[in-house]
Chains A and B, each alone.
Chain A
Amino acid sequence: MEKTRLTAKDFSSGLPVKWCPGCGNFAILSQIQKAMAGMGLPHEKYAVISGIGCSSRFPYYVNTYGFHTMHGRAPAVATGVKLANPELAVWVVTGDGDGLSIGGNHMLHAIRRNIGLKIVLFNNRIYALTKGQASPTTQPGTKTKTTPEGSLDFPFNPARFAAGLDCTFVARGIDFDLPGGAAILERAASHRGTVFIEMLQKCVPFSDKEFDPLKDPQTRDENVLRVEHGKPLVFGKEKNKGIAFRGFRPGVVEFPAGKVPAEVVVYDETSAEMAYLISGLTQPDFPVPVGVFRAVEKPAYEELAAERSAAPAGLDELLAGSDAWDVK
């Protein structure tokens, strides 16, 4: 297919964007538009499919084919789009409630099949469009309109959910971390099979302070772990901390800056086990890991589905079958 040179601006639909001022979605939108431009396909070869929720407004703001579907069903609709026309770059935009609560079943089966969908799950840990109910990623004890005494549920960890399903591309980004997000999306754009990106995203009205420690220049280096293939898992303002897997139990080790001990893990994104361990690190014992946790090659479902063992027959031959008879 011909490569085209479009810019992120070309992917703006020009419609007024109706998210709240300060919403983390604006940053993600511009990052994805940039990633699309980087894919080099003409406009008509993109389809953005979403479910229901704040994030799912996304297709209206992108100048491609778009489908704002039903609550939770975006991966299912997108699967049909991709199978019907595998040439399309199909992006799925969903949220924590949409993708992991009402749509959890579709999400896990899309990942199981390794179908070529680029799924970006905006995780703001709250139901925002319905104005503030607990979601499946709401942290324990969080007070919301439906959990006035604090959330009781144990939450999902979306990236770990995907890693546990052997997703062939698992990553986590943060809305305000533009270079980090761009690096993930650029790699996601060329991945074969299912991409699952958890985008941590603050919601101004309902989870405004949720990710402040990851953003505040005073605290962010202690709270964010940047995961990169082939590099040691080191963090901290002084680069004096690292992650070691001691008998499959991750732990934080401290060391003098610059002298990374051998037990600090050199990350391997092709390892399913490492992806599972790293995605499971949570605060307060660990920093929040971001970056590409897993990237491996495996045939995509739409490629397998397109294979045919026989040549098509004519309609008359097909209808006649093998045991027809004539009535004279």
Chain B
Amino acid sequence: MTQNAPKKNVKVSELNSVTVRFAGDSGDGIQLVGNQFATATAKAGNDLSTLPDYPAEIRSPAGSLGGVSGFQISFGDDSVLTPGNRPNVLVVMNPAALAVNLKNLEKGSVIIANSDAFSKQELEKAGYAANPLEDGSLDNYRVISVPARALTEAALAGSGLSKAQVLKCKNFYILGILYWMYGLPLEPTIEWIKNKFRKTPAVAEANEKVLRAGRYYAESTEIFDARFQIRKRTIKPGRYRNLTGNEAAAYALITAAKLLKRKLFYGSYPITPASEILQVLARHRAQDVTVFQAEDEIAAVCSSIGAAFAGSLAATGTSGPGLSLKTEALGLAVITELPLVVVDVQRGGPSTGLPTKTEQSDLLQAVFGRHGESPLPVLAASSPADCFDTTLEAARIAVKYMTPVIVLSNSYLSNGSEPFRIPDPSDLPEFEVPPLPAPEEYKPYLRAPGTLARPWAHAGLKGYEHRLGGLEKQDVTGAISYDGLNHERMTQLRSEKIAGVAKEIPPTRIYGDPEGDLLVAGWGSSYGAIKLAVTEARKAGLKVSSIHVRHLNPLPPDLGVIMRRFRRVLVPEENCGQFRLLLRSACMVEPAGLNKMQGQPLNQEEILEKIKEVLRGN
């Protein structure tokens, strides 16, 4: 951490955590710079959480407010659970980025502005009549103007690169400044640059030079009078890598197939924000992964069902509108009792809605959104790295119980990243597979006692030839049956089987005391924000605890008992109250709701405020 110790005498402040937001044109390379910064902080031993925030359009007109892309990172000790609410440092590459992000900035925060981009023309596009860097309107902030363009050009004078090539390097100048401010190592980024531009050594050299120049500039100029030392985290030793939620889900599927010793089949259709799972798996085809980009959402799920019938560990991924299209096929997977993992990366809906923004509004669709009585397990991930554990668990349940399982992620988790502790594969438990009787004793719907799972005799196995289909089956034999009493029995068996998945759920962990005035009950991506808010509330002496529910169908059996030990229950969620509805009907409680539908994740301030409000009402 001190390897880049400053030569001059500057004040070093120690912080628990800090939040930095990079903002600029969507063509400015903001995500790239943000990711480099994230890697550098991770390698320096920080815990971190990141969140890219980009417009639905790929490239809006340059300099426009609609085209501003952002990347936020919070890093520091183990108190980092979210990408932060309000940035301590805002890096803006143009006036539009400042205009869009200023309202979310606390007074006294640092603004690092690429002042070269604050020309008359660019200011006008962002709606500024005068230059905010000069007119005193930012007096309540610590503004650091860096003429990044001119400085980059100076650093690369005589490099022989074209003007366009030179200008593309300017992000690294700013990055170099930030590395100095937080005492971060340059090496991971330099290594990345060398690899990325290995075919064009001149460009690699230029980027490295600009990165170093930025750092020296910060070190030697008078404008920076302070740098920050982030407290080391106290997390579990091990090997880590930074993963987004989508990457984590993809690696979980590969891991599941390897543990099961089957091929992985992933049939999917491109849809924001789930496409990255398909892309990551496509890069790992060598791992016995069959990636099938289907013609539509329906073919994506149907091909996966076919692959399950033929013995692969089958999965599909989508977002809300795609899940709607897959629902008929999920009915087929329910009645044929084939294992299937469906990852739903939720986004703002209905319809195309807010395709790049986050929400938690597919919960009821996941639990109930099918024709007929068609129960299936639903799990939700609580953080980017937790997408790994949740998806792996979903695959285990799918195979053990012979059922489709829906995993709920969302845009926030899928794009956000955090350090993922890489498990030792030998520590991961083996998959449990329903027993397969000898061919002469085999019946397609002969259920295993305990789980009620039917055997998985996949197409190609000698001696187990059988016919499956969407028509109701006779109990045990699996022959077509139109008998009413048999249909009722089969309906009940399917229902009991899914209810039995509750046996897999460990006792619910309570954060805080087991009883008190208020229990905050959350699910999915709000985990970090709820925990931070409850921590603050408890510091303030409030009798608040929280639980976070991964299993949404069936629900953990102990929820009712836990909730009744508190005077009130608060359910914060990014929808109109879907989890609240489930809790009300399952546990006979009447929780208060905090409901946010702004395409942005719930944050700890909002939750803390609501906690206080609910307690005041007591």
A and B are partners in one complex rather than unrelated chains: yes
**A interface list, Cβ under 8 A from B:** 13, 42-45, 47, 49, 52, 59-60, 63-70, 73, 76-85, 87-88, 105-106, 109, 305, 308-316, 318-321, 323-328
Question: Across the interface, do A321 and B311 meet the contact criterion of CB distance under 8 Å?
Answer: no
Question: Across the interface, do A68 and B468 meet the contact criterion of CB distance under 8 Å?
Answer: yes
B305 at the interface (CB under 8 A from A): yes
Residues of chain A within 8 A (CB-CB) of B304 are 80
Residues of chain A within 8 A (CB-CB) of B469 are 59-60, 66-69
- Complex: how many Å from CA A77 to CA B307? 8
Min C-beta distance of B595 to chain A, whole Å: 36
Contact of A327 among B235, B254, B263 (CB under 8 A): B235
Question: Across the interface, do A318 and B287 meet the contact criterion of CB distance under 8 Å?
Answer: yes
Contact with A along B461-501 (1 / 0, CB 8 A): 11111111111000000001000000000000000000000
14 contacts between A and B (CB under 8 A): A43-B465, A44-B464, A65-B460, A66-B467, A69-B469, A70-B332, A73-B299, A79-B299, A88-B460, A311-B286, A318-B287, A320-B241, A324-B241, A327-B238
Question: Across the interface, do A67 and B468 meet the contact criterion of CB distance under 8 Å?
Answer: yes
- Complex: how many Å from CA A75 to CA B288? 23
Question: Across the interface, do B263 and A109 meet the contact criterion of CB distance under 8 Å?
Answer: no
Residues of chain A within 8 A (CB-CB) of B290 are 83-84, 305
Q: Report the nearest B residue to A319, measured CB to CB.
A: B422
- Complex: how many Å from CA A326 to CA B421? 9
Contact of B465 among A49, A63, A76, A316 (CB under 8 A): A63
B372 at the interface (CB under 8 A from A): no
B424 at the interface (CB under 8 A from A): yes
Question: Across the interface, do A87 and B471 meet the contact criterion of CB distance under 8 Å?
Answer: no
Question: Across the interface, do B236 and A327 meet the contact criterion of CB distance under 8 Å?
Answer: yes
Question: Across the interface, do A105 and B463 meet the contact criterion of CB distance under 8 Å?
Answer: no
Which of B242, B314, B465 has the largest count of A CB atoms less than 10 A from its CB? B465
Residues of chain B within 8 A (CB-CB) of A69 are 302, 305-306, 332, 469-470
Which 5 A-B residue pairs are closest in the complex by CB-CB distance? A80-B306, A68-B469, A80-B303, A76-B302, A84-B310
Question: Across the interface, do B310 and A88 meet the contact criterion of CB distance under 8 Å?
Answer: yes
Min C-beta distance of B263 to chain A, whole Å: 7
- Complex: how many Å from CA A255 to CA B483? 63
Residues of chain B within 8 A (CB-CB) of A109 are 294-295, 299
Min C-beta distance of A158 to chain B, whole Å: 19
Question: Across the interface, do A81 and B241 meet the contact criterion of CB distance under 8 Å?
Answer: no
A85-B311, A309-B286, A323-B241 known; A65 and B459 CB under 8 Å?
A: yes
Question: Across the interface, do A84 and B265 meet the contact criterion of CB distance under 8 Å?
Answer: yes
B515 at the interface (CB under 8 A from A): no
Question: Across the interface, do B471 and A68 meet the contact criterion of CB distance under 8 Å?
Answer: yes
- Complex: how many Å from CA A175 to CA B257? 44
Min C-beta distance of A128 to chain B, whole Å: 17
- Complex: how many Å from CA A158 to CA B303? 23
Residues of chain B within 8 A (CB-CB) of A319 are 251, 255, 422-423, 425
Contact of B45 among A84, A312, A327 (CB under 8 A): A327
Residues of chain B within 8 A (CB-CB) of A310 are 286
Contact of B467 among A68, A70, A328 (CB under 8 A): A68
Residues of chain A within 8 A (CB-CB) of B292 are 79-80, 83, 305
- 12 new A-B contacts at CB < 8 Å, known A42-B462, A67-B469, A312-B286: A47-B459, A60-B480, A83-B290, A88-B460, A106-B295, A109-B295, A313-B286, A316-B422, A325-B239, A325-B241, A326-B239, A326-B240
- Complex: how many Å from CA A83 to CA B328? 22
Question: Across the interface, do A85 and B265 meet the contact criterion of CB distance under 8 Å?
Answer: no
Contact of A320 among B239, B309, B328 (CB under 8 A): B239
Contact of A85 among B235, B302, B460, B468 (CB under 8 A): B460
Question: Across the interface, do A308 and B314 meet the contact criterion of CB distance under 8 Å?
Answer: no
Contact of B299 among A42, A68, A105, A326 (CB under 8 A): A105
B43 at the interface (CB under 8 A from A): yes
Residues of chain A within 8 A (CB-CB) of B470 are 52, 68-70
Question: Across the interface, do B286 and A84 meet the contact criterion of CB distance under 8 Å?
Answer: no
- Complex: how many Å from CA A106 to CA B297? 11
Min C-beta distance of B557 to chain A, whole Å: 33
- Residues of B244-286 contacting chain A, CB below 8 A: 251, 254-255, 258, 263, 265, 267, 284-286
Residues of chain A within 8 A (CB-CB) of B267 are 80
Residues of chain B within 8 A (CB-CB) of A318 are 251, 254, 284, 287
Residues of chain A within 8 A (CB-CB) of B286 are 308-313
Which of B286, B296, B302, B423 has the largest count of A CB atoms less than 10 A from its CB? B302
Question: Across the interface, do A77 and B241 meet the contact criterion of CB distance under 8 Å?
Answer: no
Contact of A76 among B294, B311, B460, B480 (CB under 8 A): B294
Residues of chain B within 8 A (CB-CB) of A68 are 467-471
Question: Across the interface, do A77 and B302 meet the contact criterion of CB distance under 8 Å?
Answer: yes
Residues of chain A within 8 A (CB-CB) of B329 are 70, 73
Residues of chain A within 8 A (CB-CB) of B294 are 76, 79, 109
- Complex: how many Å from CA A43 to CA B312? 20
B188 at the interface (CB under 8 A from A): yes
Question: Across the interface, do B307 and A44 meet the contact criterion of CB distance under 8 Å?
Answer: no
- Complex: how many Å from CA A81 to CA B307? 5
B42 at the interface (CB under 8 A from A): yes
- Complex: how many Å from CA A324 to CA B286? 21
Question: Across the interface, do B188 and A323 meet the contact criterion of CB distance under 8 Å?
Answer: yes
Min C-beta distance of B145 to chain A, whole Å: 33
A84-B265, A84-B311, A328-B237 known; A76 and B468 CB under 8 Å?
A: no
- Complex: how many Å from CA A78 to CA B305? 9
Contact of A67 among B188, B303, B467 (CB under 8 A): B467
B298 at the interface (CB under 8 A from A): yes
Question: Across the interface, do B240 and A327 meet the contact criterion of CB distance under 8 Å?
Answer: yes
A59-B469, A68-B471, A73-B298 known; A312 and B307 CB under 8 Å?
A: no
Residues of chain B within 8 A (CB-CB) of A313 are 286-287
- Complex: how many Å from CA A47 to CA B461? 11
A315-B425, A320-B422 known; A88 and B302 CB under 8 Å?
A: no
Contact with A along B421-436 (1 / 0, CB 8 A): 0111100000000000
A83-B265, A318-B284, A326-B238 known; A67 and B306 CB under 8 Å?
A: yes
- Complex: how many Å from CA A328 to CA B239? 9
Residues of chain B within 8 A (CB-CB) of A13 are 467
A80-B292, A80-B314 known; A325 and B240 CB under 8 Å?
A: yes
